[in-house]
Chains A and B, each alone.
Chain A
């Protein structure tokens, strides 16, 4: 699920020449699209793994993932710093509530906010949760599309040879927030 959401967001912001790659989710009847950039996919997968490990250590805890797109503005070097400034022009906040299955045979964590009838059998419970998850995921993806369509003016101009805008994926961390950023991808 995380991969689907993240890749969908990034796909909309990878405005360079891409060859889209369809990815079918195993759990749901949903196909999301990747940019087809191996490096980008690798970075996102790493980020997802970090997030999953965090979730496993903090079960049943709400979390938020932030996907930020920024522009690198070179700041006039001063006495102390000669750094570039990041100008965030878009940020996506993904609020997640990962719940752990109470039953021992199900060790999966689900991104769901659905409260299910406790009287359901195990299989029905799983299937209903899965259906709810699929519906919520589909809704999230449609929301992304809507957001992308509603605002287009703020997107910076596309640079030649640049595949995607620099972005940053922020996930909650153990003591502190780990930031993973990527500069210009080419």
Chain B
């Protein structure tokens, strides 16, 4: 009797231990799939890497607790905190509420901490209740909404009138083995079920996504909970696991869950509202050499704002002056301003202009960026007056556009291109080569433009142009020319242009290929001289807008012609350059001519290049804009010179198309 009693007691103790461990294991399964940052996902994968797949060898690395019910899971801190509750809940139900908390949008991510999910314990010894909740109040959010999306019930229903400790004669090892086996199956089913329920999707999304979300899953473990309202229960479905009979009762496991939490979870997919991050990836400080996509950024205006604000000098200017882009080659671009503006704003990537420009300037390899963006969908058609009053923003915009343009910058051709009708995709640098008469004047006049740093960028772009401008002695003060050049640039990143080793360094005085044979050799030295200081100070400081514009104009003027548009444009530019330089007059009225000439030249030069990068339709569109601008400008400038330029430019544009 004593032995049997002892055996019974032992078996009762074993039964109690099994039940307790079952409580803990079920709690662990639920919590590790609902508590953020704690998951057994791929836990086995990590273990298997270190140990063979055989169970015998893997058991060596298994913690003793993992062996319970043959289900090795990663430890869950929240489950460990509730282990006492599990022990005490052998005869009391264990209720786990999975709460979906929605924080307000003004939730501070900095204050977010995983510890919030680990709750302060409010242990009531009287009731053996263990209630914990996340300390959301520390987040600073005043209001948050909670919604119970799941409620798990784990309980051992004792048979009335039966005491487990008394031991049933039926309690035998076989019974315990059978019970253990059934509990293994039950826990297997529980493990699969927790991953099939809708809440698991939320858990997975919250865990996997690095975004700061307004939703959070908070498991809440307790023994006594308030019953759900009828409405809540009506919205939920219940899933019963088949109870497992024990010697003194039965173990029941069930769950109340919301089947339609997609409407709730869809809100979680919305990340936090964009916030300005000063040290974002891709910032000038972080990655000045970063390339920017050439895709239109129509939707990214809010996101690009942080980037732009960092260099508000450029971006704001973009926004301020729509007509900038229109100053690309064609002088006839009248209404293309607005059109150009949109593409500019659209295509304005969140790029730190100054550093990139600086880098581009350093490399001086690619004159493409220098070209105004023919990529602008709207044909850049500056109004008659705008060319004169080109604010620096125009230039900035053009600069942004430059980054996208694989611009080829043979200055002479560009200058010769009165082919203002040429595609707007033509590289901008040629247009800045105001080879026409009066371009020098315009260049100098352009100094009044507020391009500022953009002009500096143009210096980096236009190798020959830089030389020319320096040679001409014209102050790079014209924003218009810079604008023109920038407006022609495509949407490619500046960096792309700079990286293009196809074009020699603008400051490479030895490179005569792209320059006119007879072009001012003296200007090379001067250009180099001029460019060097610019280059030096390019990244460091921001010159005055006037000086920058003037430098840009000079650079554009002296930009080598496009390869394709070789002879005619170069000849024309040659012819016009002396005229241009000779007429280096600080005449605001000539800016329009210079602009148009530059547009024509750059368009012709860039046309060949932009063909590859831009569609013909875009080029034609820009060309139309340029034409309109040109027409407007022609009415103001010298008719004879402009018409001549226009004629040549038209020829180049048609050739380029």
The interface of chain A, by Cβ under 8 A from chain B, is: 8, 11-12, 15-22, 24, 29-33, 36-39, 138, 141-142, 144-145, 148-150, 152-153, 155, 157-158, 161-163, 186
Decide: B53 and A150 in contact? CB cutoff 8 A: no
Q: Is the interface of B mostly helix, strand, loop or mixed?
A: helix
B62 at the binding interface (Cβ < 8 Å): yes
Q: Which of A8, A21, A157, A163 contacts B177 (CB 8 A)?
A: A157
B313 at the binding interface (Cβ < 8 Å): no
Chain A residues with CB below 8 A from B201, complex form: 29
The interface of chain B, by Cβ under 8 A from chain A, is: 40-45, 47-48, 53-56, 58-59, 62, 66-67, 70-73, 177-178, 181-182, 184-186, 188-189, 191-193, 195-196, 200-201, 204, 239, 241-242, 244
CB distance from B301 to the nearest CB of A (A): 29
Chain B residues with CB below 8 A from A186, complex form: 54-56
Q: Which of B45, B56, B191 contacts A33 (CB 8 A)?
A: B191
CB distance from B171 to the nearest CB of A (A): 17
Decide: A21 and B242 in contact? CB cutoff 8 A: no
Q: Which of A17, A19, A30, A148 contacts B189 (CB 8 A)?
A: A148
Decide: B193 and A145 in contact? CB cutoff 8 A: yes
Known contacts A21-B45, A145-B192; A16/B70 CB under 8 A: yes
Q: Which of A16, A20, A24 contacts B40 (CB 8 A)?
A: A20
Decide: A36 and B191 in contact? CB cutoff 8 A: no
Interface centre among B45, B73, B196 (most CB of A within 10 A): B196
Decide: A17 and B67 in contact? CB cutoff 8 A: yes
Q: Which of A148, A152, A163 contacts B55 (CB 8 A)?
A: A163
CB distance from B483 to the nearest CB of A (A): 44
Complex Cα distance A8/B189, Å? Answer: 9
Q: Which of A16, A22, A149 contacts B41 (CB 8 A)?
A: A22
Chain A residues with CB below 8 A from B55, complex form: 16-18, 161-163, 186
Complex Cα distance A32/B204, Å? Answer: 13
Chain A residues with CB below 8 A from B41, complex form: 22
Q: Which of B54, B66, B188 contacts A148 (CB 8 A)?
A: B188
Decide: B192 and A141 in contact? CB cutoff 8 A: yes
Known contacts A21-B44, A36-B45, A149-B242; A15/B184 CB under 8 A: yes
Decide: B185 and A32 in contact? CB cutoff 8 A: no
Decide: B242 and A17 in contact? CB cutoff 8 A: no
Chain A residues with CB below 8 A from B188, complex form: 11-12, 15, 148
Decide: B70 and A12 in contact? CB cutoff 8 A: no
Chain B residues with CB below 8 A from A161, complex form: 55-56
Q: Which of B58, B196, B200 contacts A19 (CB 8 A)?
A: B58
CB distance from B149 to the nearest CB of A (A): 16
Complex Cα distance A17/B68, Å? Answer: 9
Chain B residues with CB below 8 A from A20, complex form: 40, 43-44, 71-73, 191
**Which residue of B has the minimal Cβ distance to A139?**
B196
Complex Cα distance A38/B44, Å? Answer: 11
Complex Cα distance A31/B54, Å? Answer: 24
Complex Cα distance A153/B45, Å? Answer: 32
Chain B residues with CB below 8 A from A152, complex form: 181-182, 185, 242, 244
Decide: A22 and B195 in contact? CB cutoff 8 A: yes
CB distance from A13 to the nearest CB of B (A): 9
Known contacts A22-B41, A152-B181, A186-B54; A31/B189 CB under 8 A: no
CB distance from A54 to the nearest CB of B (A): 28
Complex Cα distance A82/B103, Å? Answer: 70
**Which residue of A has the minimal Cβ distance to B188?**
A12
Nearest 5 A/B pairs, CB to CB:
A19-B44, A36-B44, A149-B242, A17-B70, A21-B44
Complex Cα distance A39/B48, Å? Answer: 12
CB distance from B558 to the nearest CB of A (A): 54
Q: Which of B53, B58, B70 contacts A15 (CB 8 A)?
A: B70
Complex Cα distance A16/B419, Å? Answer: 81
Chain B residues with CB below 8 A from A150, complex form: 242
Complex Cα distance A157/B71, Å? Answer: 17
Decide: B184 and A158 in contact? CB cutoff 8 A: yes
**Which residue of A has the minimal Cβ distance to B45?**
A21
Decide: B44 and A32 in contact? CB cutoff 8 A: no
Chain B residues with CB below 8 A from A155, complex form: 181, 185
Q: Which of B71, B200, B242 contacts A31 (CB 8 A)?
A: B200
Chain A residues with CB below 8 A from B181, complex form: 15, 152, 155, 157-158
Complex Cα distance A155/B177, Å? Answer: 12
**Which residue of B has the minimal Cβ distance to A15?**
B184
**Which residue of A has the minimal Cβ distance to B205?**
A29
Chain B residues with CB below 8 A from A30, complex form: 196
A-B contact pairs, 29 of them (CB 8 A): A8-B192, A11-B188, A12-B189, A15-B181, A15-B184, A17-B70, A18-B71, A21-B42, A21-B43, A22-B40, A22-B42, A29-B201, A31-B195, A31-B204, A32-B192, A33-B192, A38-B48, A38-B53, A144-B192, A145-B192, A148-B189, A149-B186, A150-B242, A152-B185, A155-B185, A158-B181, A158-B184, A161-B56, A186-B55
Chain B residues with CB below 8 A from A145, complex form: 189, 192-193, 196
Interface centre among B42, B53, B241 (most CB of A within 10 A): B53
Complex Cα distance A32/B56, Å? Answer: 25
Interface centre among A17, A19, A142, A149 (most CB of B within 10 A): A19
**Which residue of A has the minimal Cβ distance to B68?**
A17
Complex Cα distance A112/B228, Å? Answer: 38
Chain A residues with CB below 8 A from B59, complex form: 17
